[in-house]
Structure 1
């Protein structure tokens, strides 16, 4: 008999906390490969490849996944993650999971370690693929707020388990993954092959950067499809990595251990596998945000994120420690920035209800009078709910000098504001 842990997350109407009620139940053994201890992923029904369509929101790849035969869930495909994460469980969620132990995990951010449950022996199903004996880390808090920031329900993150078993093609233009056996993959003569090193389940690549002094600096970076930015550099890892002359303080995002803050600026050039990109928008996290990863300072200098990666058709071959890159239609697009100073979230993911979740100090939006917590009603004379989150992001990144007219509701009062987008860096 296998013992499973079923978790029901219930909201106590008269108690201001979320409680977890658990009970143990018997569950039937799931069909397995020949080796019942094998934690690999397999093609189902005799397939030799699988094509998986994905959604792309704010540069992140969202794929469908079922866990222990659950309803379909949305997972972010993240090369920067080794063990799959289940996040943001809610009131009424019910999943049957194998229980192992409670642990604490570390990551980027200013806060303390995060509690998680390590669950093993789970089954996952993706289109044309399945695997058993899969490890899952269940976060007991929604530390990322992905669902509200991406405008859709996000249930988890999947990384190394997908890439270790297959050759994985990522076609950002078609929004499609292609997974194949290593034996069925052949390098073409014109392919641009870049060596990678897979360390602790994460792919690292060597690249070059050029700052204001016009000198090239060699850097070792994590290839991170789960980071929506272009490039992040750790100035504490190499004395030759210097801040650009023109920078500004910025909220850079949220990591496992809380908010990530630092500077943002532009480096002159970035060189990867024979390709060169210029005027790269680059994040420079501060020391407090990096304090949990000081032990890997000798191993890496930062990460290359999806704002750069999406400019290529990518092929990952972890088994042979290589990555193939081919420029696509995004390659020559400029590296843009949110010129409004507004960060938008969706309090009810899946519904087009938009709220200002953060606002930069001395930004055009703040100077106009907008505030955190304002609910968007109209945006440039169009009802806010007629926009997708991607469309709002694109509008705020569109063109310096563009006029923005926003009507919001604040404390039951409708208010109207105007400002022009400004290029801060």
Structure 2
């Protein structure tokens, strides 16, 4: 009898321990702003700071302007190689990072200018974090609830209904196997980085593009500009693939980019390309780095169409972030036909102030192929008939 009671008590405490291990240490809301996920973080007991969550970079970075506001103590100038290439900045001393009630200790934070990203994304950015969250905790990212759950990695067992994908880590970044059928019918099987910070759906890295002559294999395409943590912009070709499949998931008519970057993960020779935010937002993903696994579940965005540029405009903010500017006009596009020029100011869209609407919503509006949108550029009203570029 005593033995039976003892076994029951052991079973109760064992089940309690498993239950506690499966309860999140904390839940943190996040915001999807265009192609980027923002999470609130405190540095040295600061106010809530707006950090981009980026699985594609191994460095935690603080905006140099935010570092000045917080009176952070910095060391000597240094150059650090990150997933986005070489960056110039300073290592900050005596820092702590707190995510809700969870503190990350003994990590390195580098300060650098993020202004080029701010004017491209369209808002203030206090910093960027990724690997330092992911190596310490199991991180569950839920787009339906717009929140992260952080779990203790010890004893964690996935209980969801999604698929388990084995991952490898290269340069601190996870990558998985996927198949892409190009516009010319060619099938490519390769390894693709999983990069929440990439403004892309599927991209092929520069070495692969060069070696396999990819430009003629993606159908009609246009050229746009991209930059990462490093300030230099590189041209990208944007076209379409017939399909993308991985681990039982599949998509058709997928936007595909061809990188011409000279540095960073998009110049990686051993990994074929990148799966970016245009795809990842369609899944709730749990990252379990200690077990080298990820768990993917379809979310409410799974069936939404991919966003395609239908105006021929690439927008960014002015240097002082007070205006929306025309950064690029694509060839053979509605914008070019309307006579819109680079460095003009976009004043209004549909009667609303462009700067108040914000870049993510402007980009969504200007992707609605088949519609006619009234815009005002340098004070001149234009009826812009939208047509998808690919």
* TM bracket (short chain): 0.7 to 0.9
In the alignment, the residues of structure 2 paired with residue 176 and residue 106 of structure 1 have an alpha-carbon distance, to the nearest angstrom, of 27
Of 387, 397, 406 in structure 1, the residue corresponding to residue 375 of structure 2 is: 406
Cα RMSD of the aligned pairs, angstroms, is: 2.7
Which residues of 2 match residues 343-422 of structure 1 at below 5 A?
343-347=314-318, 353-384=323-354, 387-398=357-368, 400-409=369-378, 414-422=379-387
Q: What is residue 283 of structure 1 aligned with on the other side?
A: 257
Tell me which moved more, 274-283 or 245-254: 245-254
CA contact (8 A) 1:108 1:257 kept: no
Structure 2, gaps ≥5 residues long: 1-22
Secondary structure in 2 aligned to 1:206? Answer: strand
Q: What is residue 7 of structure 2 aligned with on the other side?
A: none
Q: What is residue 333 of structure 1 aligned with on the other side?
A: 304
CA contact (8 A) 1:250 1:264 kept: yes
Q: What is residue 129 of structure 1 aligned with on the other side?
A: 102
In the alignment, the residues of structure 1 paired with residue 388 and residue 68 of structure 2 have an alpha-carbon distance, to the nearest angstrom, of 44
Tell me which moved more, 326-335 or 158-167: 326-335
CA contact (8 A) 1:152 1:349 kept: no
Of 31, 34, 39 in structure 2, the residue corresponding to residue 58 of structure 1 is: 34
- C-alpha displacement of 1:342: 1.6
CA contact (8 A) 1:121 1:134 kept: no
Q: What is residue 9 of structure 1 aligned with on the other side?
A: none
In the alignment, the residues of structure 1 paired with residue 34 and residue 360 of structure 2 have an alpha-carbon distance, to the nearest angstrom, of 6
Secondary structure in 2 aligned to 1:89? Answer: helix
Normalized per residue, which structure has more helix? 2
Q: What is residue 4 of structure 2 aligned with on the other side?
A: none
Which residues of 2 match residues 54-203 of structure 1 at below 5 A?
54-87=30-63, 89=65, 93-99=69-75, 102-105=78-81, 113-139=86-112, 141-142=113-114, 145-183=116-154, 185-188=156-159, 190-203=161-174
- C-alpha displacement of 1:98: 4.6
Secondary structure in 2 aligned to 1:319? Answer: helix
Structure 1 residues 321 and 189: CA distance shift in structure 2, 3 A: same
In the alignment, the residues of structure 2 paired with residue 216 and residue 150 of structure 1 have an alpha-carbon distance, to the nearest angstrom, of 33
Which residues of 2 match residues 36-55 of structure 1 at below 5 A?
49-55=25-31
Structure 1 residues 384 and 107: CA distance shift in structure 2, 3 A: same
In the alignment, the residues of structure 2 paired with residue 284 and residue 226 of structure 1 have an alpha-carbon distance, to the nearest angstrom, of 17
Secondary structure in 2 aligned to 1:237? Answer: helix
- C-alpha displacement of 1:131: 1.9
- Alignment length (residue pairs): 365
Q: Structure 2 length as normaliser, TM-score?
A: 0.84
> 1:260-306 deviations in whole A, cap 9, x for unaligned?
213111111111211011111011012xx235669840x20111001
Structure 1, gaps ≥5 residues long: 1-46
> 1:295-337 deviations in whole A, cap 9, x for unaligned?
840x201110011011111110000000100111211122221
Q: What is residue 424 of structure 1 aligned with on the other side?
A: 389
> 1:164-206 deviations in whole A, cap 9, x for unaligned?
1111111122211111112353223743100001233211111
In the alignment, the residues of structure 1 paired with residue 129 and residue 264 of structure 2 have an alpha-carbon distance, to the nearest angstrom, of 22
Q: Structure 1 length as normaliser, TM-score?
A: 0.78
Normalized per residue, which structure has more strand? 1
CA contact (8 A) 1:160 1:201 kept: yes
